[in-house]
């Protein structure tokens, strides 16, 4: 058992971190916090606008600060952005303050799930499939490095995935500070 105050979902865009996070938070009695949404709300601008205005580095600085703030809480399920693992400090903070679940997804599934989604600045190019392959090559080892548990949702509806993940978490994670 790995006791931690919070639960964090990591994985590439289109892995289902936010969708699964909603269903999972309800089942576990946790507050869902989506890092990208929290950054957007605080900045008063979308991720796409922040990338255009401040570049990726500016967005990543905001993401890092928000993740650090959210991890200070307890009883929070945090859905990270796909690139949150790029920063070594983020990875260390997640390991220190959360039980981390990596949601892997293949590129073909990502392409289907992200069809028509214009809110992903890194995919605002004609070679989306190649970009996703390149991101997977660079980021997959980092997701695995930070993960306490790898949970594949391939072919599962969000409710089914949430139920199965709750069962898996019962064998691996004890919420620090939770009362029995």
Please list the pLDDT of the chain residue by residue as tens digits (180 residues).
Answer: 567 889 999 999 888 899 999 999 999 999 999 999 999 999 999 998 999 999 999 999 999 999 999 999 999 999 999 999 999 999 999 999 999 999 999 988 888 888 877 777 777 778 888 989 999 999 999 999 999 999 998 888 889 999 999 999 998 897 776 544
pLDDT of residue 157: 86
Tokens of 130: 């190649």
61 has binding-site annotation: no
16 labelled ligand-binding = yes
Does 72 appear as a known binding residue?
Answer: no
Distance (Å) of CA 87 to CA 44, 49, 116, 130, 157 = 24, 21, 29, 23, 31
Distance CA 101, CA 11 (A): 8
> How far is C-alpha 10 from the chain's CA centre?
3
Enter the tokens of residue 165: 């993940």
What's the length of the chain?
180
Task: Report the C-alpha dihedral over residues 119, 121, 125, 128, rounded to 10 degrees.
Answer: -80
Distance CA 43, CA 4 (A): 29
Domain 2-175 has CATH 3.20.20.60: no
15 is in an annotated binding site: yes
pLDDT of the residue at 177: 62
- pLDDT, position 122: 73
Separation in Å, CA 69 to CA 42, 72, 73, 74, 170: 12, 5, 7, 11, 26
User: In terms of DSSP H, where are the helices of the chain?
Assistant: 17-28, 35-43, 47-71, 88-97, 107-113, 128-146, 158-170
Verdict on whether the full-model pTM lies above 0.95: no
Residues 91 and 6: their CA atoms lie apart, in Å, by: 14
> Binding residue per annotation — 113?
no
Residue 58 marked as a ligand binder: no
Q: What is the pLDDT of residue 1?
A: 58
């Amino acid at each position: 058992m790995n006791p931690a105050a919070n639960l964090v979902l990591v994985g590439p865009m289109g892995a289902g971190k936010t969708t699964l996070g909603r269903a999972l938070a309800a089942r576990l009695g946790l507050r869902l916090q989506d890092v990208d949404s929290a950054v957007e709300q605080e900045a008063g601008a979308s991720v796409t606008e922040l990338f255009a205005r401040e570049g990726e580095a500016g967005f990543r600085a905001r993401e890092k600060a928000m993740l650090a703030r959210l991890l200070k809480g307890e009883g929070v399920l945090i859905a990270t952005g796909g690139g949150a693992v790029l920063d070594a400090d983020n990875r260390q903070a997640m390991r220190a303050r959360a039980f981390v679940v990596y949601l892997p997804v293949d590129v073909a599934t990502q392409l289907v799930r992200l069809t028509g989604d214009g809110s992903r600045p890194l995919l605002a190019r004609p070679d989306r499939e190649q970009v996703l392959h390149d991101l997977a090559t660079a980021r997959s080892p980092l997701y695995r490095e930070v993960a306490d548990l790898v949970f594949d949702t391939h072919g599962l509806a969000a409710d089914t995935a949430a139920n199965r993940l709750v069962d898996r978490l019962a064998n691996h994670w004890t919420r620090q500070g939770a009362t029995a």
